[in-house]
């Protein structure tokens, strides 16, 4: 008899970077993601319930494709603080979806290796 596997939560996300020290400084010091540990060619951070692994490419042709969405309580405040630290945003926070009780706002930026990241804010509806 076969058991049906049901995946529910993400335990870890891997992102490829070109320079580990530059990535460590950006994620730990600029973005404030808690640093856990490092292993040869890899860095590990704790982003809420999800562990983030940054690693060097396995070969020179490896593509960069992950998008990380960092949940923040105050998207406008986080945007202005990080922009002030030199984080390159592609646009200011903007409304993506109006829900029945909250609205979803996103603001995209890139890390030093060109990986796309975003701030994600759920803003309670007032109307």
Dihedral angle over CA of 3, 51, 41, 17, nearest 10:
110
**pLDDT digits over 78-115, tens only?**
999 999 999 999 989 999 888 889 898 989 899 998 88
**pLDDT digits over 72-83, tens only?**
889 999 999 999
What CA–CA distance (Å, rounded) separates 119 from 86?
15
Tell me the β-bridge partners of 105: 95, 121
The class of domain 12-124 in CATH terms is alpha beta
What CA–CA distance (Å, rounded) separates 51 from 37?
11
Nearest to 72 by CA among 108, 125, 119: 119
Q: Which two tokens stand for residue 115?
A: 């990986």
Say which residue the tokens 């949940």 belong to: 71
């Amino acid at each position: 008899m076969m058991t049906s596997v049901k995946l529910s939560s993400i335990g870890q996300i891997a992102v490829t970077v070109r320079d580990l020290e530059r990535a460590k400084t950006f994620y730990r010091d600029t973005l404030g993601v808690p640093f856990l540990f490092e292993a040869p060619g890899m860095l590990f951070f704790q982003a809420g319930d999800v562990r983030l692994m940054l690693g060097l490419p396995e070969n020179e042709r490896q593509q960069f494709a992950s998008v990380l969405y960092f949940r923040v309580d105050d998207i406008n405040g986080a945007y202005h603080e990080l922009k002030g630290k030199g984080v390159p945003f592609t646009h200011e926070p903007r409304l993506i979806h109006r829900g029945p009780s909250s609205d979803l706002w996103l603001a995209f930026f890139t890390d030093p290796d060109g990986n796309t990241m975003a701030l994600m804010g759920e803003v309670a509806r007032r109307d």
